[in-house]
Amino acid sequence: MSLTVKNGKGNVPNKGRNLSSEREGYDRIDWSDKRTSYHWMNHPDFEGIDLIDPDGWDRENLEYSFNEEKIDRFEFIHRINNSTCHLSQKTLDKLNVYR
């Protein structure tokens, strides 16, 4: 299976969402809030993540798992960690991967 998602703009359908309206209020998010993976992928903290193979998501129902299922930030990071991704150095620094 070949899938590339670059900040929510890859082969995972986004159901015609208006990304600019979703970006409003990012600085006011409580990190325990549950959001869709699409939402987290487009959050400024996760810029620079290219999701190559979504092993962390339900492949049987990827559209639901990525676009509709609400998860918290920590579950999103767990799913990213279980997937094949390319992360920019800037994103690695933000996530404190080396610390």
SS (H, E, C) the chain: CCCCEECCCCCCCCCCCCHHHHHCCHHHCCCCCCEEHHHHHCCHHHCCEEEEECCCCCHHHHHHHHHCCEECHHHHHHHHHCCEEEECHHHHHHHCCCC
Measuring CA to CA, which residue among 55, 59, 62, 1 is closest to residue 36?
Answer: 62
Please tell me which residue, 81 or 18, carries the higher pLDDT value. Answer: 81
67 torsion bin: left (phi>0), alpha (psi -120 to 50), beta (else): alpha
| pLDDT tier at 21, thresholds 50, 70, 90 | very low
Q: What is the pLDDT of residues 41-93, one digit of tens each?
A: 988 888 888 899 999 999 999 999 999 999 999 899 899 989 999 888 877 77
What does the pLDDT read at residue 99?
Answer: 47
| pLDDT tier at 5, thresholds 50, 70, 90 | low
pTM for this entry: 0.65
What does the pLDDT read at residue 46?
Answer: 83
CA distance 87 to 89: 7
Whether pLDDT at 22 is above 90:
no
Q: Please report, for the chain, the start and end positions of each structural domain, with discontinuous segments joined by +.
A: 5-95
What does the pLDDT read at residue 8?
Answer: 47
Yes or no: say if 11 and 5 are a contact pair by the CB < 8 Å rule.
Answer: yes
